[in-house]
Amino acid sequence: MSTNQPAPGAQPTSDAFAVDADNVVKSFGALKALDGVTLRVKTGEIYGLLGPNGAGKTTLIRAIVGLVAPDSGTVTVLGRRMPDLDILAQVGYMTQQAALYPDLSVEENLRFFAAISGAEGNVTEVLKTVELDQRRTSVVANLSGGLRQRCSLACALIHRPRLLLLDEPTVGVDPQLRVQFWEHFRMMAAAGTTIIVSSHVMDEAERCQRLGLMRFGKLLAEGTPNEVRAQAGSNNLEEAFLRLSGRDTE
């Protein structure tokens, strides 16, 4: 695998983008989960992927991280054509379910994920960032859903990734914690981390710098929250989303 040369077929400007997915198609049997998605996310941007369940958000995130091999199209992450194992050392991925070892404590989980990315030194600091330092010895199985989600986020942050992929990170998280999460995201983006976050909560969409609306495996509309509203001719993001995705308010 070449390290310095741009991957064949990549856009010449691909270095400016943390993620450059080009015309990605992926089918599972008869279902077209991704139907020609082109997505470019700039470095340091918070990009929100919106769409109803089954729109293809999770598949797109998995394609970006290399867990789904596209039937056609290319994915370039941080200048490297995926799949590329080495670049994954700079990518953080938080799955929908809190993927943790329930028998281990918060700190033990964190130490494990730190060790496989060679980031043991960050454990204490990341525990503080997600405010779990008081609960470091708690066994994950005994944690509430919200604390578990926080621990899961910590595991995705542990190696200080340049690109952070968050698949519905705030599902089951109370509003107070959700505000804290977004505070972290904003601080990280300010420090240069690119964040792609999927959600179907509209007040979260408001906090993204750019939004992409997905439905039926396609990216239907893209832009800043204001642009999306203008495009749909609506003051309300939720209404705009429903109009643009072809569903009228019922």
Partner 1 sequence: MSGHRIGAITSRLLHQFRRDRRTLALLFVAPIVILGLLGYLIRGSASAPSVGIANQDQGPLGATIAGSLEGSSKISASTINASDGDAKLKDGSLVAYIVFPPDFSQQAQQGNIAPEVHLEGSQPGNQAPVMQALQDALASLAAASPSAVHFQPKLTFLYGGPGLDTLDYFGAAFIGLIVFFLVFVITIVSFLRERSQGTLERLMASPLRRGEIVVGYMLGFTLIALVQAAEVLIFSLAVLRVHNQGNVLLIFGIETLMVISAVNLGIFLSMFARTEFQAVQFIPLVIVPQVLLSGILFPVSSEPKPLQYLSDVLPLTYAVNGLRDVMLKGADLTWPSLQLDAGVVAGFCVLVIVAGIATLRRQVA
- Given the rule CB under 8 A, which residues bind partner 1? 28, 59, 62, 65-69, 83, 85-86, 88-89, 91, 93, 95, 97-102, 113, 116-117, 155
Q: How far is the CB of 52 from partner 1 (least distance, A)?
A: 19
Complex with partner 1: residue 100 or 208, whichever CB lies closer:
100
Query: Least separation, in Å, of the C-beta of 167 and partner 1?
Result: 10
Half-sphere exposure of 17 (CA within 13 A, CB side): 22
In the complex, least distance from residue 157 CB atom to partner 1, rounded to whole angstroms: 13
- Cβ-based nearer residue to partner 1, 120 or 183: 120
Q: Which residue number, 18 or 91, has a Cβ lying nearer to partner 1? A: 91
Shortest Å, Cβ 89 to partner 1: 5
In angstroms, what is the minimal distance from the CB of 99 to partner 1? 3
Closer residue to partner 1 (CB): 17 or 93: 93
Q: Name which of 149 and 245 has its Cβ closer to partner 1.
A: 149
Structure tokens at 187: 């601080």
Find the shortest distance in angstroms from Cβ 67 to partner 1.
Answer: 5
Residue number, 196 or 240, with CB nearest to partner 1: 196
DSSP letter string over the chain? Answer: --SSSPPTT--TTGGGEEEEEEEEEEEETTEEEEEEEEEEEETT-EEEEE--TTSSHHHHHHHHHTSS--SEEEEEETTEESS-TGGGGGEEEE-SS----TTSBHHHHHHHHHHHTT-GGGHHHHHHHTT-GGGTTSBGGGS-HHHHHHHHHHHHHTT--SEEEEESTTTT--HHHHHHHHHHHHHHHHTT-EEEEEE--HHHHTTSSEEEEEETTEEEEEE-HHHHHHHHT-S-HHHHHHHHTT----
